[in-house]
């Protein structure tokens, strides 16, 4: 095969340079490279890749259009199913989804589906506005402007519903805006994608905390026929350690919100400050932890380390992100668990005590259980600690609407149609699954939009 | 955009705004706060809803100049607007079914204290208020408190009005004299709330304080405002801002307030050379 056994390389910023800026690391394909990569696709008659995509993008079809140089048409094809392709192409874990199923990937590297999706989405960034379809099928309220809510809203608008999204922050996008850093996902791209969803006729009301300014019942009283809850999992977990409230201990959510949403990396032009010392420890090893550790380096930390209680194999972050973090100089302290955070006389962090761990039997999830090695406590010298050990759903909306049943973890219970225990209220994304991926949230938003359509049609 | 309908100066560096925010006014209750952002570069600043008028669709906020962001807000005029305003946030406080309550306010704390005192009075409580300020000039809302209080005491640090000394001096005299209250509400600088709580603990007087912790989102998603209450971590923005003063770790709160002192100094510097638009020159 002339196309080669590996994916076309994507140019990226040099690690030594990029660690000093917040610009995007991966620079994207040019037209020629995109065509070359598209030509690696075998155009399977029974494409497995498509089944691996939570929003079922017509992958071989759009890739064929790229191979033919019909980039606009390719983008249109993607957009039939995916409302946020410039984002998915950048942040989806394709290695676990579409690309994991690619036939080329059995012997060689799979086709770079994500890179091609990103290419076509970027290609049409400045293209003309879409015209909204006539919105006469009913009114739907969407709570939360993250990936789930934006997708549900866009799909419902395309079906002919009048959609209003209520967002508590001053900018839409959810985790795309406050969580994922600029160097992985430029905020300009997010805002552009959101603008395109607004072009479909979706109204986004900012600064509205549903559960406070109004409840779900009030939405129904205002004439909405159905409500979709896509409020995510934004409540940070702490470990309950001694010293966790010292100055210099952040939740990853706070640290990243200051930097991404409030642009604290441009302080003092932007007025929100962020504190980062010389030596930063990030507790956890998911994508959020990698984002926090890499952000700390860009803010001037001399050392940034991941502290994780399990081993290399068990780290939940994407391989690509772990690799990028390593290239940039993030250290990995594996099989270490913090036991307490140590402070100085002014109440600032001066160190962290950890215990060494070993891996025992596999638990129900299949991961080997970490066990502390008795007496192995030691201190590490750090002045900033960022907790990135996961998030739970925010309870504000649920406290106001107790009829919506939840699990012991605070996630919303839904049936297979994504309807909650309260009639006419649907839910999807992290608020149902707990913290997961952008594309899974989008898949859930898509399914919910279908169910909401059926529900409203049935009501007549 | 949220338009400023009225502005007046209550004291040097303390300003009161009436803002058009009909939806917020409909839902506001004593104890609620909101978060504002002036422009694209601004911080999110938490402010108590000091009063509200549901019929007119307005809310009142009172703000004191303490740094760049508060000065930026204080410099807004009637007719200007906030870019963002979100609320009501936090848990409202219960103001029903009290017979006799003492309300203790210090400095700007009189502003968040007022809607609580007013509501307690409306619900039939006997309200005794003790207001404190550094000087007579800096005392705010005296008239408003006069209207909702059965008795009003005033303390100033320099003795320029009322008693010379602290609000705790007056409170101690009352308690010492055997006056009995069902509840004390203290709002003011952290150090003052700590002193009140230590005093009332001796008299077993239930005490509610309202914390002015650092906040970003105000909706419980970051934990920047966390506070230890009875040994447990709480988020002031969703679990509070009102807490049992006898259970709050005030020393921790005092420490956390100092977190960004150096950053605040840096923004102040940039303010001197001509405000936000030139700030990038500093960096």
Q: Are residues B88 and A212, on separate chains, in Cβ contact within 8 Å?
A: yes
Interface mutation target, options B86, B233, B267, B271, chain A, most CBs of A under 10 Å: B86
DSSP string covering A381-448 = --SEEEE-S-EE---HHHHH-TTS-B-TTSPBP--TT-B-SSTTEEE-SHHHHSS--HHHHHHHHHHH
Instruction: Quote the CA–CA distance of A209 and B107 in Å, as a whole number.
Output: 30
Hey, what long-range contacts does A296-299 have (CB within 8 A, 24 or more apart)?
A296/A255, A296/A384, A296/A386, A297/A19, A297/A328, A297/A329, A297/A330, A298/A19, A298/A20, A298/A21, A298/A22, A298/A183, A298/A265, A299/A259, A299/A265, A299/A274
Q: What is the pLDDT of residue B269?
A: 61
Chain A nearest CA to B98, separation (Å): 26
Q: Is residue A441 part of a domain?
A: yes
Number of domains in chain A: 3
Chain B nearest CA to A68, separation (Å): 43
Q: Are residues A212 and B89, on separate chains, in Cβ contact within 8 Å?
A: yes
Question: Along chain A (460 residues), what's the average pLDDT of each consecutive run of 10 residues?
Answer: 77 94 95 96 93 93 96 95 93 92 93 96 85 91 97 96 97 96 95 93 97 96 97 93 95 96 93 94 97 97 97 91 96 97 94 96 84 96 96 90 93 94 96 91 95 93
* CATH code assigned at A67: 1.10.1060.10
Chain B nearest CA to A255, separation (Å): 8
* Together in a domain, A284 and A178: no
Instruction: Quote the CA–CA distance of A231 and A66 in Å, as a whole number.
Output: 36
Q: Is B229 on the interface with A (CB under 8 A)?
A: no
Instruction: Quote the CA–CA distance of A232 and A174 in Å, as a whole number.
Output: 8
Nearest to A254 among B86, B223, B276 (CB): B223
Q: Is A323 on the interface with B (CB under 8 A)?
A: no
Domain spans in chain B, listed from the N-terminal domain onward: 2-89, 100-257
Please state the ipTM of this predicted complex: 0.90
* Together in a domain, A369 and A267: yes
Q: Is residue A276 part of a domain?
A: yes
* Together in a domain, A359 and A418: no
Instruction: Quote the CA–CA distance of B256 and A299 in Å, as a whole number.
Output: 21
Which class is domain B100-257? alpha beta
Q: What is the pLDDT of residue B270?
A: 55
The annotation status of B237 as a binding-site residue, yes or no, is yes
Tens-binned pLDDT, residue by residue, of chain B (283 aa): 899 999 999 999 999 999 999 999 999 999 999 999 999 999 999 999 999 999 999 999 999 998 889 999 999 999 999 999 999 999 999 887 899 999 999 999 999 999 999 999 999 999 999 999 999 999 999 999 999 999 999 999 999 999 999 999 999 999 999 999 999 999 999 999 999 999 999 999 999 999 988 899 999 999 999 999 999 999 999 999 999 999 999 999 999 988 888 877 776 665 543 333 333 333 3
Residue A9, helix vs strand vs coil:
coil
Which residue in A277, A294, A167, A188 sits closest to A230, CA to CA?
A167
Q: Is A209 on the interface with B (CB under 8 A)?
A: yes
Instruction: Quote the CA–CA distance of B64 and B47 in Å, as a whole number.
Output: 10
The annotation status of B154 as a binding-site residue, yes or no, is no
CA atoms within 13 A on the CB side of A274: 31
Q: What is the pLDDT of residue B281?
A: 33
- Structural domain harbouring A244: 236-387
Q: Is A236 on the interface with B (CB under 8 A)?
A: yes
Burial zone of A362 (CB within 10 Å; 0-12 exposed, 13-18 middle, 19+ buried) = exposed
Q: What is the pLDDT of residue A435?
A: 87
* Together in a domain, A403 and A421: yes
Which of A66, A92, A124 lies at the terminal end of a domain, its last residue? A124
Q: What is the pLDDT of residue A114?
A: 95
Q: Is B24 on the interface with A (CB under 8 A)?
A: yes
Contacts of B283 in chain A (CB under 8 A): 266-269
Instruction: Quote the CA–CA distance of A437 and A418 in Å, as a whole number.
Output: 17
Interface mutation target, options B221, B224, B253, B267, chain A, most CBs of A under 10 Å: B221
The annotation status of B225 as a binding-site residue, yes or no, is yes
Q: Is A346 on the interface with B (CB under 8 A)?
A: yes
Q: Are residues A394 and B221, on separate chains, in Cβ contact within 8 Å?
A: yes
Count of C-beta atoms within a 10 Å radius of residue A30: 11
Instruction: Quote the CA–CA distance of B46 and B36 in Å, as a whole number.
Output: 7
Q: Is residue A5 part of a domain?
A: no
The annotation status of B63 as a binding-site residue, yes or no, is yes
DSSP lists the bridge partners of residue A391 as A236
Which overall architecture, per CATH, does domain B2-89 show? Beta Barrel (2.40)
Chain B nearest CA to A391, separation (Å): 9
Q: Is A254 on the interface with B (CB under 8 A)?
A: yes
CA angle B233, A348, A239 (to 5 degrees): 35
Which of A340, A358, A387 lies at the terminal end of a domain, its last residue? A387
* Together in a domain, A289 and A370: yes
* Together in a domain, A188 and A324: no
In chain A, the residue whose alpha carbon lies closest to the alpha carbon of B276 is A269
Chain B nearest CA to A207, separation (Å): 5
Q: What is the pLDDT of residue B268?
A: 64
Q: Is B265 on the interface with A (CB under 8 A)?
A: no
Residue A368, helix vs strand vs coil:
strand
Contacts of A347 in chain B (CB under 8 A): 252, 255-256, 258
Q: Is residue A451 part of a domain?
A: yes
* Together in a domain, A228 and A248: no
Which of A387, A407, A437 lies at the terminal end of a domain, its last residue? A387
Q: What is the pLDDT of residue B17?
A: 97
Q: What is the pLDDT of residue B272?
A: 44
Token pair 């809302």: residue: B141
The DSSP H or E segment spanning A44 is none
DSSP string covering A116-145 = HHHHHHHHTTTPPPPPPPP--S-EEEEE--
Q: Is residue A8 part of a domain?
A: no
Instruction: Quote the CA–CA distance of B130 and B214 in Å, as a whole number.
Output: 26
* Angle at which helices A187-199 and A147-159 cross, to 10°: 20
* CATH code assigned at A442: 3.50.50.60
Instruction: Quote the CA–CA distance of A55 and A423 in Å, as a whole number.
Output: 25
């Amino acid at each position: 095969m002339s196309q080669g056994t590996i994916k076309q390389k994507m140019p990226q910023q040099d690690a030594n340079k990029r660690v000093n800026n917040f610009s995007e690391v991966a620079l994207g394909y040019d037209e020629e490279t995109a065509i070359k990569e598209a030509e690696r696709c075998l155009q399977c008659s029974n494409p497995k890749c498509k089944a691996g995509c939570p929003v079922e993008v017509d992958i071989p079809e759009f890739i064929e259009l790229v191979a033919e140089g019909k980039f606009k048409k390719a983008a249109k094809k993607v957009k039939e199913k995916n409302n946020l392709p410039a984002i998915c192409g950048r942040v989806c874990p394709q290695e676990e989804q579409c690309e994991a199923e690619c036939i080329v990937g059995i012997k060689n590297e799979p086709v770079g589906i994500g890179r091609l999706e990103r290419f076509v989405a970027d290609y049409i960034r400045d293209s003309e506005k879409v015209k909204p379809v006539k919105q006469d099928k009913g009114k739907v309220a969407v709570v939360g402007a993250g990936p789930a809510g934006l997708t549900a809203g866009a799909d419902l608008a395309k079906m002919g519903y009048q959609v209003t999204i209520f967002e508590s922050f001053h900018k839409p996008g959810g985790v795309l805006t406050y969580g994922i850093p600029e160097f992985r996902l430029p905020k300009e791209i997010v805002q552009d994608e959101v603008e395109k969803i607004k072009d479909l006729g979706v109204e986004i009301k900012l600064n509205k905390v549903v559960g406070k300014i109004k409840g779900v019942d009030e939405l129904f009283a205002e004439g909405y026929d159905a409500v979709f809850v896509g409020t995510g999992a934004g409540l940070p977990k702490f470990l309950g350690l001694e010293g966790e409230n010292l100055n210099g201990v952040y939740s990853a959510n706070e640290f990243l919100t200051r930097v991404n949403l409030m642009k604290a990396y441009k302080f003092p032009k932007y007025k929100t400050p962020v504190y980062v010392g010389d030596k930063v420890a990030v507790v956890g090893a998911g994508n959020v932890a990698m984002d926090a550790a890499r952000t700390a380096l860009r803010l001037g930390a001399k050392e940034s380390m991941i502290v994780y209680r399990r081993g290399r194999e068990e780290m939940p972050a994407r391989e690509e992100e772990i690799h990028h973090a390593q290239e940039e100089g993030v250290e990995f302290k594996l099989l270490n668990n913090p036991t307490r955070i140590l402070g100085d006389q002014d109440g600032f962090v001066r160190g962290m005590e950890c215990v060494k761990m070993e891996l025992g039997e596999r638990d129900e999830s299949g991961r080997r259980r970490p066990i502390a090695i008795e007496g192995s406590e030691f201190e590490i010298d750090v002045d900033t600690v960022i907790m990135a050990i996961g998030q739970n759903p925010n309870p504000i909306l649920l406290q106001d609407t107790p009829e919506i049943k939840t699990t012991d973890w605070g996630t919303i219970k839904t049936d297979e149609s994504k309807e909650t225990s309260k009639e006419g209220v649907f839910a999807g994304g992290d608020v149902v699954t707990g913290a997961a991926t952008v594309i899974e949230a989008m898949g859930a938003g898509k399914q919910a939009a279908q169910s909401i359509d059926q529900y409203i049609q049935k009501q007549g | 955009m949220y338009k400023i309908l009225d502005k007046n100066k209550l004291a040097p560096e303390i300003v009161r705004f009436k803002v058009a925010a009909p939806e917020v006014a409909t839902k506001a209750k004593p104890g609620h706060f909101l978060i504002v952002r002036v422009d694209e570069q601004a911080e999110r600043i938490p402010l108590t809803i000091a009063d509200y008028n549901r019929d007119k669709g307005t809310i009142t906020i009172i703000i004191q100049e303490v740094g760049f962001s508060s000065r930026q807000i204080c410099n807004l005029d009637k007719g200007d607007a906030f870019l963002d305003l979100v609320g009501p946030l936090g848990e409202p406080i219960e103001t029903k079914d009290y017979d006799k309550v003492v309300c203790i306010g210090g400095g700007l704390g009189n502003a968040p204290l007022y809607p609580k005192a007013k509501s307690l009075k409306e619900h039939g409580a006997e309200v005794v208020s003790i207001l404190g300020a550094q000087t007579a000039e800096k005392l705010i809302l005296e008239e408003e408190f006069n209207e909702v209080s059965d008795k009003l005491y005033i303390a100033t640090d320099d003795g320029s009005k009322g008693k010379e000394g602290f609000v705790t001096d007056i409170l101690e005299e009352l308690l010492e004299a055997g006056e009995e209250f069902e509840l004390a509400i203290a709002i003011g600088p952290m150090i003052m709330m700590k002193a009140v709580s230590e005093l009332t603990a001796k008299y077993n007087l239930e005490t509610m304080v309202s914390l002015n912790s650092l906040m970003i989102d105000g909706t419980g998603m970051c934990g920047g405002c966390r506070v230890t209450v009875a040994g447990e971590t709480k988020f002031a923005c969703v679990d509070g801002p009102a807490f049992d003063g006898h259970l709050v770790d005030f020393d921790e709160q005092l420490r956390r307030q100092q977190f960004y002192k150096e950053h605040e100094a840096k923004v102040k510097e940039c303010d001197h050379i001509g405000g936000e638009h030139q700030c990038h020159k500093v960096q």
